Amino acid sequence: MKRKKTNPGVSHTQEDATKLAKSVEKHQKRMGVEFAAQLKKIHFETGRILDVGCGGGEMAYQLAQMLPKAEVVGLDEPGPLLEIAKTMAEDVPNLEIEKGDVQNMPFKDNWFDVVISMNVFHLVDDPVAMLNEVERVLKPEGVFGLGDRKRSWAAYVIPALKVTYTAQEAKEILAASRLRPWKFNETVFWFSVTAGEYTSNLRKA
Q: Do domains 14-100 and 114-198 have the same CATH topology?
A: yes
In this structure, what are the phi and psi dihedrals at residue 201, rounded to the nearest 5 degrees?
-75, 135
Cβ atoms of residues 135 and 179 within 8 Å = yes
The DSSP output letter for 33 is H
Which residue in 30, 65, 35 sits closest to 143, CA to CA? 35
Domain extents for the chain?
Answer: 14-100, 114-198
Q: What is the pLDDT along the chain (205 residues), one digit of tens a residue?
A: 566 665 444 556 777 766 766 666 788 888 999 999 989 988 898 999 999 999 999 999 999 999 999 999 999 998 888 999 999 999 999 999 999 999 999 999 999 999 999 999 999 999 999 999 999 999 999 999 999 999 875 545 556 667 799 999 999 999 999 999 999 999 988 999 999 975 444 433 3
| Arch. (CATH architecture) of 114-198 | 3-Layer(aba) Sandwich (3.40)
Reading across the β-sheet that carries 138-149, which strands appear in turn?
95-99, 71-76, 48-52, 112-118, 138-149, 190-195, 182-186
In degrees, to the nearest 5, what angle opens at C-alpha 102 toward C-alphas 92 and 190?
90
What pLDDT does residue 189 have?
87
The highest-level CATH class for domain 14-100 is: alpha beta
**What pLDDT is attached to residue 185?**
96
Coil, helix or strand at residue 82: helix
pTM above threshold 0.85:
yes
Question: Residue 197: helix, strand or coil by DSSP?
Answer: coil
Q: Using alpha carbons, select from 55, 26, 39 the residue that is nearest to residue 204.
A: 26
